[in-house]
Every structure is written in structure tokens, then in C-alpha cells.
Structure 1
């Protein structure tokens, strides 16, 4: 019936609902939303477009939209809230560990950890071949597969392949790689011997190993906010009490950190000192010293994620360097600079924690891949990684300059000085409401709500400077902001 009621032309080629399909427009629209909800493109708690807005976007009648929403209601995928609209239904809450003596939920506990998978799925399923502003990796065209392939052939040629493939690797990781990384860290000013390094399956695995080795369910953990959404989700799923600390231009809000430390006795602080995600801010030396004093006073460890360290100056302030690995543990990987698929990461730990973390690694993953680790070791030893990082940094500088110009022309402002890989952009409207229409137009964005421990409206979004240079994206964003 609704095929005859809607006669407007398609809104955009390849994106519009089909009037020649065997399915009605109502069924197609309901299926489109259902697919995105089931694949977590639309996270629990997300608000669907209003009936009028959805009808205008898809060039259909309000009747079609209401009927599609009714189908989603019947499937249990969304819920209607009086005077507020339609929202993706929350997943059933699971029993979690008690977080206080009276077993009440902790006020800082993230309410919807699965929200983080919205961005994770974007890493694997880009909605189109063009670069996506919401993703967190460098464009494939920027990477050097030839360099990695050549290094891989060299470390596996002849008889070298046999010991790398027919046996488990060393528990702590390949010794050659750990020696090469020790020399690289010395360039930062971090004095760490090879036996203080433990290899991992990427930085996320490194963060997880340290958390599991040091903490118990119910322990309090300080985390920057905004921050990488996977970290909130990961800690919540392990039963930790997440204590967000507002992040500013110089680092964490020290007054809030001190108050939380005094009241909740955290065991760990998870932070990114260099090119923080999503703000790209850098920890100042003054803030770094104050954070270390708080850690000493209140007895918590600091887990420093140096995932973007290869894109930053060597002299950038790092807590691990200032502290000389007394209360600090550094983690990192090569996924943001060389290749996201090889999953080679590392932990640099105080000597007294190395065995505990290594034992945790053995229980969770046994060992890591020595063939990949030796390949990266060769790239470090031969200076290839340093030269590649220099080239990428130059490309990123040019991309950032172009993207900043386009963003400002589109009426957006940067909350912090643009630097590094990411920009923290104020669009002037709720970016979660922009997510769906932008996805319909073929663009994946990262709304600000994803980067908070508790979901809340935000006019901010994170952009990747390397993949936000297309003027078409900014025109599409500007058009949505004017609606």
C-alpha cells in the first residue's frame, strides 16, 4: 500500500529505498534500522530520527516511517518514550559484582558497555570504499606493505623459518624484538632493559593483561574522560568501578582526581599522556609531576597507553619516563603506525611486576607470534620504522591543515589546538542525532557520546585528520546541521 502513497524521487543514488523492490518501503526502512541495531551501528540508548526527520531523509511519507517504527517495536528492537521519541532498546542488564559494602551500583559505572562496539565494528565494516572520518587508523594507502613484506622475507629465509613456526615463542616474547624496543624506548628517555618488556597481541591485550594481573573485581580505576570507549567497556566487563576524571588541555583535572582518590582508594589510573584519544592533547610536565605525587600519596599504579607515541615528538612528556617505571607501566603497539592487522603490542613494567604479568599472559594467550615480532625488530634495527614515521608525520601535517580549513568553513570549531591524528570538534548540535543521517549518506562519524563513561548528549565528535579531507563529507555534515 505505501508503495503507492510515496512518489517522491530517491534522495541519493544507491542509498534510497527502492520502489521496485518486492518489499514495501515500510519493510525496507524497518529492515535498514533493524540491521544497524543488530550490528551495533546504532547502540543501545540511541535515539532514532523523529518521524518527520526520517520521512524527509528517506523521501517517504510519515505513514511509512510510523509503520516501520511499529515493526521495530514489535520486534523488541526499539521502545517509544512519551514526548521524547523512539530509542534503541537497552540490552538486559546482567548481574555484576557488588561495588560497595551495601551492594549498590557505583555512580560512575558505565551503563552500556556495548556502545564501544559501534566504533569497533567500523574498523571491520566500512560503509563504502572511501575513508571514514570516524575511524581510528591511518588510511591503507598511507601504509607500507612493501617494507613489511621485505622484512618478513628476510627473517624467514632459509632455515630461519623453522624455529619461528614449529615451536611456541618465549613466554615474555621474542628476545630480539624486546632488545630492539628497549633501544627505541631509550630514545624517549625511558631506561628499560629487554627483560622488563612483555609482548602482547596488540595494545588492547596489553591493557587487559595489566588489569587482570593487578586488580580484582570491584576495585576502583581512574580513567580519563573523554577517552577511548573500549576502555570504559573493558573495565566494566571485568567488574571494575570506573571513576572518570575530566581531561583538559594539560592533562587530568587534578582536583577531581585528588577527590576521587581520597574517597574511593583507586588501585589504577589509565591514561594516554601523548596525543590523547580523542582530544590529541599532550600531558604537560607540571601536570605530570602532580599526577605522580597523587599516585605516590594514594598508592595507585599508573597504566600509560603510548599507542600514538610513534606520531609524537620523542621529547613529549611521558609519566613512565619521569617516574622511571616505579609506579608506572607503559603499553603500546604498532597498529596505529604500521599495520592494524599484525596485532603486535608490548608492556614495559617495573621488574617486580614482570613475572606476574607474564604469568597472566601465559594463562590467557600462552605466547605471541615470534615471526611477526622479529619482522618488526628488523624494521626497528634498520631504521626503516623511523624513516616511515617521518614520512607519515609529514603526510599527517598536510592532511590536518586541509581538514582544519574544511571544518571551519563548515562552521565547526576545535575544542583543543589541532595536532596528532585526531580532532575534537564542536559541531553545534547533538552529534548522536547526526550519526544516522550521515551513515545514510555514506559517512561513519564518531559522536562525542561514545567517549564518555555514561551516555549523555554531546555536540562534539572525533575526526581522524588523515581520513577527513574530503570536502563532500563536510558539505554533507553542513547540510545536516542546517536541517
Structure 2
């Protein structure tokens, strides 16, 4: 660190450039609060006036904004989200520019990071996918290359998916399955087909910020349901369902993102019962099982308990196979699948028959199953190491580590901690990112595989002590 006692124009410029690079690379997301002048000057080893000069330069570039008596914040570049003038107080909108967040995550995917939502490339098996694609495009399969696919999805894939869903207790015929371009596409179809602008929708809090943004951009009113280690707050869930009569409850029942928590059988029954307060047939329960590949099949699914009467089951395969093979699906009642298929046709006619047939082959021949088993064996080791490193750093996970993510209790303001760790070059995901109202807390989401470097935990331990 360089220590100065007066305003140094050259140093202020260099500091501004450093902050600008962090913003550009996504280490600082829109809406993030920069360190206070006193704290930032201490972290950087400069005088407060030099840091203020650096912040002024960032403000002049339109990268940050000063908020009266609150400090400096990374500027948000987003337009207003349409919503009714009579929206209730519980309504919230997307906490920041979702496109900026998505670009940041995609641009940084090649670098291991505790903040990532995916496995590193070296854990995946590109050769496995190449073999399936070669077979799907080999002799006798010209139609897959030259014609539109079935709008509802490749029939062989839908049959394979129906068998796969039965493994987790979700029983659906191939006619009750619609293929999509990943789980994200399925969730988007549901938001725009089964709800209208102005409708209320229940969401997990904390939860996945991109889902908040997607629903808000569809003009829906977000009603946060507090999520704890014991699952959703059932009293709040029932009260919101009765008061606001929501059209959807979008939730993760198994390996919840970001907490990693899974519902027990009793909790799952109570969640279904609580949503009935919205009225008969009023509220669709949308079960996002994106991380199914990392979960034991015996864990209860809401869709299995409900029998796909008023539930929609969504899953995808990007997390275990790789993001390039964008195939997912939604299963539900036939009438809902027909409506979703009609919207899919209007949007893009059909999804890729080549990638769908490749996934069908991976399911039929057992390639996906064997690959997933190998991943989970490695992931168990990564979780064990991560738990030990966290304990050595003076932190603890809020529940037994499971799946890909852990909800780490740092014991300090995790947004301030993330700001400090950014100075050390570490991208982290503080708790505020996962709340619709962007409130802070002491937790951060940790990717078990991306957080294997002891240097990260040493930096976290040192920064925690500075902030304590």
C-alpha cells in the first residue's frame, strides 16, 4: 500500500482506474456500496481526501453515484419496471441490473471463483458430449439437421425425461413434458404464460437474483417469503397467499440457492397446504429443481407430492453437463403444457433437435448417470475441504454442506467483506445479492469447488479481523 497525507492527483487517478476495472469485471455489481471514505482510505493506505478525489472521478465517469448521508454506490443502469400504481407495500422489483450481473458471471466463468454458479470446465466432460452429438448427427439422422424439431420437444428425449423424472418421484407421461432451452427458458415461459402483468408472485427470500429480475421484467409483483434453515416461513407464506392471491410461487425445494437447504417431507406437505390459501386453482407452485443432479433422488419433491395437479416441475442439465448444451424441461398438467408449448412456438418455433437427441442418448445409454456419479464423488471431497478451510478461517456454514453451494456465516457485514476481498482480487457473492430488497447480512454464498484455494480463506480471515 502507498501512504500519503495529501491529495495526490496521480494516485487518485490510479485508484479510480482500479475501481473502474473492478466494476467493469463484475467484482463490484450495480447497487454495491463502496467502502466509506474513512474505511476505504484505511484499506488503500491513502488519505481520505485522495480517496474522495478517486470517487469523484468515478462519479464523473457515471460509474458511481453519491447518495446523501449514505455514501457512494455503483451506479445502476436500468429503466423503470412496469407495475400497477396500486401495488401493495410487499411488492419489490429487481435489485439491480440483471443483464450486468449475467454478463459479469459469463465473462468470468473461466476463472475459478467462490462466487460462481457453475462447475469449472476441468470438472466437465466435453468428450462425452461430442460423442453424443456425433451419433445424433450421423448417417440416418439428416432430419435432425435439416428440419424443424417437434415444438414440444424430441419424442425420444421426452420419453427419456419421463423415466428420469420418475426417479425423483415425479410421474409424468411424455405428453406432459415440454423441452426448453435450459431451465431458465422454462421459467421464463411460465412467467409470461401463466401470469399477467400486475399479478403477484411469491418468491424465496433469499433466492436467485436473476429470477427476481425475470419476474419483475414481466411486470409481476414480487412477494418475498423468508427462507430459513427450516424452509419457507409457512405463516408468512399462507398470509401472503390469502391477502394477495398470487398466481405463482417460484421456489427451490431441493438444494435451495443460495442456502443449500432441502425440504423435509413434512415441510413439503405444509408448503403445498399453505399455498392453497390463495384459493382453489389460483396459485401454481413452480418447483425449480435446477440442481437435481447434485441431490439424492430420495429427497421429497413438491411436484411428486402434488402429482402435477397444480405444480410445475422445472429442471435442466447445464449444471452437470456444461452450459453449452442448453436443454431443460418443464413437466406439468397437460393443459398447462399445451399453453406453454404454444408460447414456445410463437417465440422460436422449436428448440434444437440435435442437442435434444444428444441428451436423449446420454440419458438412454447411461452416460449422464455415470458422469453425474463421478461429479458427486469429487464434490463430496470439495465440500469436506471447504468446511475445514472455513473453520480455520473462523467461519461456519449455516447448515451441513450439500450440493454445489454453502451459505457461509462470516460473522461480519458480508457486503463490506466482499468490498475488502475485491481489493485482494477475489470475487464473492455477499448476502445482499440474494434479497429482493438488497438488505445486507453476514452470509455469503460459496461455491465449494470455486473456493478451494487456501489463499482465499487466508484473505477472508484477515479481512474479517479488520472489519470485526
TM range (shorter): over 0.9
SS at match of 1:24: helix
How far apart are the structure 2 equivalents of 1:358 and 1:48? 45
How far apart are the structure 2 equivalents of 1:26 and 1:290? 56
SS at match of 1:247: strand
Is 1:332 aligned to residue 318 of structure 2? no
The CA deviation at 1:57 is: 3.7
How far apart are the structure 1 equivalents of 2:367 and 2:63? 50
Is the alpha carbon distance of 1:169 and 1:465 closer, same or farther for their aligned partners in structure 2, counting shifts above 3 Å?
same
1:148-194 Cα offsets, whole Å, 9 max, x none, are 1111112212242x211211111111111111111111122221111
Is the alpha carbon distance of 1:118 and 1:281 closer, same or farther for their aligned partners in structure 2, counting shifts above 3 Å?
farther
Q: 2:215 aligns with which of 235, 241, 257?
A: 235
- Alignment-derived partner of residue 358 in structure 1: 341
How many residue pairs match? The answer is: 460
Q: 1:134 aligns with which of 115, 140, 147?
A: 115
The CA deviation at 1:287 is: 1.6
The CA deviation at 1:29 is: 2.1
1:279-326 Cα offsets, whole Å, 9 max, x none, are 111111112112222334423110001101111111110011111100
Q: 2:155 aligns with which of 161, 164, 175?
A: 175
Matches within 5 A, 1:74-89: 74-89=60-75
- Alignment-derived partner of residue 411 in structure 1: 394
1:400-456 Cα offsets, whole Å, 9 max, x none, are 000001011101122222211110011111111222332232211111001111011
How far apart are the structure 2 equivalents of 1:125 and 1:56? 31
Mean CA deviation greater in 250-259 or 51-60? 51-60
User: What's the TM-score, normalizing by structure 2?
Assistant: 0.92
1:104-145 Cα offsets, whole Å, 9 max, x none, are 443233344435456523432228x64100101111111111
- Alignment-derived partner of residue 10 in structure 2: 24
Q: 1:109 aligns with which of 55, 69, 91?
A: 91
Is 1:205 aligned to residue 197 of structure 2? no
Does structure 2 conserve the Cα–Cα contact (< 8 Å) formed by 1:422 and 1:463? yes
How far apart are the structure 2 equivalents of 1:143 and 1:105? 45
Q: Which runs of 5+ in 2 are unaligned?
A: none
SS at match of 2:449: helix
Q: 2:107 aligns with which of 125, 141, 162?
A: 125
Does structure 1 conserve the Cα–Cα contact (< 8 Å) formed by 2:389 and 2:454? yes
Does structure 2 conserve the Cα–Cα contact (< 8 Å) formed by 1:304 and 1:330? yes
- Alignment-derived partner of residue 378 in structure 2: 395
How far apart are the structure 2 equivalents of 1:66 and 1:417? 43
Matches within 5 A, 1:367-378: 367-378=350-361
Does structure 2 conserve the Cα–Cα contact (< 8 Å) formed by 1:200 and 1:346? yes
Is 1:166 aligned to residue 146 of structure 2? yes
Does structure 2 conserve the Cα–Cα contact (< 8 Å) formed by 1:132 and 1:444? yes
Q: 1:53 aligns with which of 23, 34, 39?
A: 39
Does structure 1 conserve the Cα–Cα contact (< 8 Å) formed by 2:29 and 2:101? no
Q: 2:233 aligns with which of 238, 253, 278?
A: 253
How far apart are the structure 2 equivalents of 1:59 and 1:231? 39
How far apart are the structure 2 equivalents of 1:402 and 1:294? 39
How far apart are the structure 2 equivalents of 1:92 and 1:388? 40
Is 1:383 aligned to residue 369 of structure 2? no
- Alignment-derived partner of residue 341 in structure 1: 324
The CA deviation at 1:92 is: 6.4
Does structure 1 conserve the Cα–Cα contact (< 8 Å) formed by 2:94 and 2:216? no
Does structure 1 conserve the Cα–Cα contact (< 8 Å) formed by 2:83 and 2:221? no
Does structure 1 conserve the Cα–Cα contact (< 8 Å) formed by 2:315 and 2:328? yes
Q: Which runs of 5+ in 1 are unaligned?
A: 1-5, 10-18
- Alignment-derived partner of residue 144 in structure 1: 125
SS at match of 2:82: coil
The CA deviation at 1:33 is: 2.6
The CA deviation at 1:41 is: 4.3
1:63-82 Cα offsets, whole Å, 9 max, x none, are 43221111223334333345
How far apart are the structure 1 equivalents of 2:325 and 2:11? 43
The CA deviation at 1:62 is: 3.5
The CA deviation at 1:477 is: 0.8
How far apart are the structure 1 equivalents of 2:337 and 2:366? 28
